[in-house]
Structure 1
Amino acid sequence: MPDRIATTVDGRTVTLSHLDKVWWPETGYTKGQALDYYAKVAPVLLPHVAGRAASFIRLPDGVEGGTRFYAKHVPPGAPEWVSTIEVVGHEETRRQVDVDSLATLMWAANLAAIEIHVPQWGTDPDAHDRLVLDLDPGPGAGMAECREVALLARDVLAEDGLTCVVKTSGSKGLHLYAALEPTPEAATSAYAKALAQRLERERPELVVHRMAKNLRAGRVFVDWSQNASAKTTAAPYTLRAGPEPTVSAPVTWAEIDSAAELTFGPAEVLERVARDGDGFAPLLAARTTGRLP
């Protein structure tokens, strides 16, 4: 296979390189296979990242290579057609990539942007349109405990009129989302923290709302801090850079309420999408209707 291949994607010329490079040595999964996955999953991935300032975890030498870095700024040499978003922060103003097209997705993936992360807002950091809870099991806890906490959190959100969807983190936990009408950062974070504290009060043996490691044994940390404007969360359908290629994949509440396996590789996710469509579609449909109490 040639080292570099120029191809046309949505009318844009994208040069792909070293497609036979192995990115996941444990399984032999290559860069070319990863790019093929992103090309095929793009119809359901793009709606969840377009219009948001993307951050990437880039691993030029694969998941076991020595180089791994978190990239926020638009990299030098980016094509002029790549859409960007200006993000005004407390310490700097920067331009970040807006993954709003298949061409941009393929360009970024070719740069070894294995993981795509996005914030809970679009162009205005103080207008959040998503609430997120990151369920992270501590030592001695696992997916079974995360499932239980997810169901508890879903019911609290439902009491407050918020529709909740859930996906795997692609690692060991779960991510819960609820769509919001544009809501200030402070209000979103305060609500998420209060919800995590309520779950801890009601189930102290199962839930902790603080990150301290000495508190987390056998419990699930409900990370409400992901609602800060400066934070990002792994995007729906992104690959994760673990020992094996896994995906942060939407799952159903029936799967959460059962003992179904909740680890999915790229091929499994594509099969699920072909069968069921976008499991996170409700997050898009409800974007302007969710209101915090």
Structure 2
Amino acid sequence: MTPITEVEGRRLALSNLDKVLYPATGTTKGEVLHYYAATVAAPLLAHLDDRPVSFLRYPDGPDGQLFFTKNPPPGTPDWVRTAEVRRHEAQSSRQVVVQDLASLVWAANLVVEFHTPQWRAEAPRIADRLVLDLDPGAPASIVECCAVGLWLRERLAADGLTAYAKTSGSKGLHLLVPLAPTPSEQVSAYARVLAVEARNSLPELVVHRMTRALRPGKVFVDFSQNAAAKTTATPYTLRARAEPTVSAPVTWDEIEDCEAPGDLVFLAGDMAGRLERYGDLLGPLFDPDLARPLPDRA
């Protein structure tokens, strides 16, 4: 029998709570739901607020079928908010916007990664943040990503911009910069300039092109996720990996001290303690006083 629970006045049917989703740790679906509802709901909802969500679904765990969807899944309750999304002049669709705890629990019950764009539903294609995805090519690891991230932090600071960081929850590192509202194409162009400059300054470490043959042993500075049609793993989302890894905010001290890949791997069970110690390290992204325009030369 499928358990029925009530969340903020909404009745939800939660399925297969004893199902093991992460065999490496024995983590069950019920534990995943508890993580979202009880551990990270407040900061995660802040990062999901008014942003159309794309879902990477993995209902049978990371070793099962994975499929990416931007449309509201079949059976989406009518009380879950959706918004019309127009990424291009001639193309529009509707997507889920996770605005409250009930919607978060409903989405988590589908077993998903949460992915969001750099803009809000109320202002499509107008970015309020810049993202740089640092993706290592083996044998490079997050250790090399940290070195590149530190260089980029200083480069952004030279333009009056402040970078904050999180792990991707996979192999790499994400840098996030709060911006005054800026058209996505302008942010993309500026991010590309940064990637090229990083490649020119750190040629032994960095590539800025996606070509696989160029990437072994180097860090790909992926600027493309600033495009209006692209999304990035939302802070605090679990990832479809062997273990329940989290796209976790980190301090610059932790980045400077990173000496081995395992130094910046965080699991669901780590997050309550980190939130108690640090709060939301990406909270400054919401401070309008910290949002800066791109430099004139961008």
- The answer, yes or no, to whether TM exceeds 0.5 is yes
Structure 1 partner of 2:27: 29
User: Does residue 97 of the first structure (1) align with residue 96 of the second (2)?
Assistant: yes
1:4 and 2:6 correspond = no
Q: CA RMSD in A?
A: 1.3
Between 1:211-220 and 1:237-246, the stretch displaced more is: 211-220
Aligned to 1:251: 250
> In structure 2, what is the Cα distance between the partners aligned to 1:106 and 1:218?
40
- 1:90-130 CA distances to partner (integer Å, 9 max, x unpaired)? 363211110111100100111122x0000000023320111
Alignment of 1:57-72 (within 5 A): 57-65=56-64, 67-72=65-70
Point out the more displaced range, 91-100 or 130-139.
91-100
The code of the aligned residue for 2:7 comes to V
Q: Please say if residues 146 and 258 of structure 2, whose CA atoms lie closer than 8 Å, have aligned partners that are also in contact.
A: no
- In structure 2, do the counterparts of structure 1 residues 212 and 287 end up closer, same or farther at CA, with 3 Å as the change threshold? farther
The residue type paired with residue 168 of structure 1 is T
Q: SS at the partner of 1:240?
A: coil
Partner of 1:211 in structure 2? 210
Which residue of 2 is the match for residue 276 of structure 1?
A: 278
Q: CA 1:288–1:256 in structure 2 vs 1: closer, same or farther (change >3 Å)?
A: closer
What is the SS of the residue equivalent to 1:255? Answer: helix
Q: How does 1:76-115 map to 2 (within 5 A)?
A: 76-90=74-88, 92-113=91-112, 115=113
Q: Percent identity, please.
A: 54
Q: Is the 8 A contact 1:181 1:287 kept in 2?
A: no
TM-score, length-normalised on structure 1?
Answer: 0.95
- Aligned residue number for residue 140 of structure 1: 139
The answer to whether residue 127 in structure 2 is matched with residue 128 in structure 1 is yes
Per-residue CA deviations over 1:68-87 (Å, capped at 9, x if unaligned) read 11011112221111011111
**Distance in 1 of aligned mates of 2:51 and 2:223:** 20
Unaligned runs of 5+ in 2: none
Counterpart CA distance in 1 for 2:215 and 2:93 is 36
Aligned to 1:15: 13
In the TM superposition, what is the alpha-carbon distance from 1:289 to its structure 2 partner?
Answer: 2.5
* Equivalent pairs, count: 289
Structure 1: where are the runs of 5+ without partners?
A: none
Look up the match of 2:51. 52
CA contact (8 A) 1:52 1:98 kept: yes
Is residue 49–residue 98 contact of structure 2 (8 Å, CA) maintained in 1?
yes
Contact 1:25/1:64, CA 8 A, preserved across alignment: no
State the one-letter code of the partner of 2:31: Q
Per-residue deviation at 1:61? 1.3
Aligned partners of 2:45, 2:33: CA distance in 1, in Å? 14
Distance 1:136 1:76 in 2: 33
Structure 2 SS opposite 1:88: strand
Native 8 Å contact 1:128 1:184 kept in 2 = yes
Deviation at 1:287, TM superposition (A): 7.2
**Aligned position for 1:289:** 291
1:136 alignment partner AA = D
Q: Residue 286 of structure 1: CA displacement?
A: 4.0
Moved more, 235-244 or 70-79: 70-79
How far 1:259 moved relative to its partner?
2.7
Aligned residue for 1:180, secondary structure, equals strand
Distance in 2, Cα, partners of 1:197 & 1:8: 51
Query: Deviation string for 1:236-257 (max 9, x for gaps)?
Result: 0000000111000000000001
Amino acid of the structure 1 residue aligned with 2:155: V
Counterpart AA for 1:135: L
TM-score normalised over the length of structure 2: 0.94
Q: Indicate conservation of the 8 Å contact 2:245/2:268, yes or no.
A: yes
Aligned to 1:171, what secondary structure does the other structure show?
Answer: coil
